[in-house]
Amino acid sequence: MPIASRNGIAFHLQELGEHGPPVVMLHGLLVGSLATWYFTTAPALANTHRVLLYDLRGHGKSERAKTGYDLATMQADLGAVIDAFTDEPVILVGHSFGAVVALRFALAHPARVAKLVIVEAPLPPSNLAELDSFLGQKPEAMAAALPEALRDAVGRKGRQAAKLVESLRFLATESSLFADLGQAQDIDDATLATLRCPLLSVYGSRSSCLAVGRRVGRLIPHAKSVELDGGHFLPVEAAGALSAAILEFARG
């Protein structure tokens, strides 16, 4: 489990693959970690690409930062991770809030992004019903409120479940995450329409974010839009179909 300092924070990083275009993959908030991709899409993608996964600040085995969950800081984290990984334009893949960070980074730094995959990006994050349902609950209630497939993936009991509850407790009660999310702003239509890199936009047919996916497809004509059977947590709920879509897009 390599740990490296980036942007003043100790991040847990994992690299897969030795050859091919570079890919950086970002997970979602609260229950996400680099395992979101490590046990799904990343190994197959590493057959033809160099893949970098990292735990976002405060998540997984990265440093439990009390602040810095605003989009500007998270973009700076991503930039620092990319700079240390490669000087080539990267393929960015993000789920949920990680997808919002990736999208904003691609808009701000178009020369650094070769392709972009957004999976269930909520715009703005505070409008995501699945995330709002966590607010105000105790960590144990947050864990119990997860969809069944996700509860199975992160562990229902034992050490894994205890680690999840402790992580949720820290993020909910000792960090600025919820306050920072509350300040997040939408990306206006005119700005979204300026995205020029190839884009794969993936949303679940039963997700509260589906309208966002259709908006992205309408505003960015060159985007490839895919709807999969599932809700917000597609890396778990539709792992095979999602991986197939990402692999086809990255290798195309």
> DSSP string spanning 128-173?
-HHHHTTTTS-HHHHHHTS-HHHHHHH-SSHHHHHHHHHHHHHHHH
CATH class held by domain 3-251: alpha beta
**Of 104, 111, 132, nearest to 209 (Cα)?**
132
Q: What is the DSSP string of 194-225?
A: T--S-EEEEEETT-TTHHHHHHHHHH-TT-EE
Give the strands of the sheet with 113-119, arranged side by side.
3-6, 9-16, 50-54, 22-26, 90-95, 113-119, 199-204, 224-228
> Percent of the chain having pLDDT more than 70?
86
pLDDT at 126 over 50: no
Look at residue 143 in the predicted model and tell me its pLDDT.
Answer: 65
Check if the beta carbon of residue 143 is closer than 8 Å to that of residue 164: yes
- pLDDT above 70: residue 70: yes
Q: What percent of the chain has pLDDT over 90?
A: 75
pLDDT score at 150: 64
Among 135, 130, 142, 120, residue whose Cα is nearest residue 246: 120
**What is the pLDDT of the chain when averaged over all its residues?**
90
Q: Which residues contact 224 (CB under 8 A, 6 or more apart)?
A: 198, 199, 200, 201, 249
pLDDT at 157: 56
pLDDT classification of 169: cutoffs 50, 70, 90: confident
3-state secondary structure of 67: coil
pLDDT band, very low/low/confident/very high, at 139 (cuts 50, 70, 90):
low
- Nearest Cα to Cα of residue 94 among 7, 24, 166, 20: 24
